Amino acid sequence: MLKAKDIMTENVLTILSTVTVAQAIALMQDKKIRSLIAVCPDEPARYGIVTERDIVYKVMAVGTDPSLVKVGDIMRQPCIEVHPELNLQEVAQLFADSGIQRAPVIDRGELLGIISATDLVMKTDVGEQIAIDTLSLRIQEALNHARIVCDPETQVSRECAVAWDIVEELQAEAARRRAAAKLDK
């Protein structure tokens, strides 16, 4: 099962909590990102997070000059952290419960990366699961066909043998896909 550490973005841009919001905006624009992890070296909670939403709601909407506001004044701290060993369902539940869309991945006070709702959607193996589920449906259809064709009352031996061959081939393909999926993880 995938964990936060498997899909997080490791290259995280950070900014000091003492810089201005204007500097944070410039960095976010330059790097085309929606949030920054703020480093607070002199505080017990070493990390905070500032998002574009924080900037819009807490600075721009109230008409404050971003060059007069420090990141530390508007960031969320302590921010909600994700442990690298959380599975993706646990991360999704944490996001749902807290209403956030991204969080730093931190282990023993060390920033390892950042994970977002976009990561959860875009970096999971759902496509592979859909392929396996589709194959399961094909197996079920082949089984139903084989049972009808091989009914003792109307059995046609050649058609019956072909129907069961198809079932076996589909089941073998499903087993190969499951084995390959386990190796990839």
* Shared domain check, 162 and 83: no
Identify residue 144 by its one-letter amino acid code.
N
Which of 103, 122, 141 is the last residue in one of the domains?
Answer: 122
* Shared domain check, 152 and 82: no
* Shared domain check, 167 and 134: yes
* Shared domain check, 147 and 115: no
Q: Taking the chain, what is the end-to-end CA distance rounded to the nearest angstrom?
A: 7
Q: What is the pLDDT along the chain (185 residues), one digit of tens a residue?
A: 889 999 999 999 999 999 999 999 999 999 999 999 999 988 777 899 999 999 999 999 999 999 999 999 999 988 899 999 999 999 999 999 998 999 999 999 899 999 999 889 888 765 555 555 676 777 777 766 666 666 665 555 667 667 777 767 777 777 777 777 767 65
- 3-state secondary structure (DSSP) of residue 125: coil
* Shared domain check, 38 and 95: yes
CA–CA dist 91, 137 (Å, integer): 30
* Shared domain check, 46 and 109: yes
* Shared domain check, 100 and 17: yes
Element (H, E) at 16: strand 14-16
* Shared domain check, 144 and 108: no
CA–CA dist 38, 81 (Å, integer): 13
CA–CA dist 26, 50 (Å, integer): 13
* Shared domain check, 105 and 54: yes
Domain that holds residue 166: 126-184
Whole-Å CA distances, 5 to 2, 78, 185: 8, 21, 13
* Shared domain check, 98 and 130: no
Which of 68, 102, 122 is the last residue in one of the domains?
Answer: 122
CA–CA dist 1, 3 (Å, integer): 7
Number of H helices, E strands in the chain: 8, 5
| pLDDT value of position 174 | 72
pTM above 0.75, yes or no: no
Q: Where are the beta strands (DSSP E) in 28-109?
A: 35-39, 47-51, 102-107
Identify residue 121 by its one-letter amino acid code.
V
What is the maximal distance between C-alpha atoms in the chain? Answer: 87
* Shared domain check, 145 and 78: no
CATH of the domain at 35: 3.10.580.10
Number of domains in the chain: 2
| pLDDT value of position 126 | 58
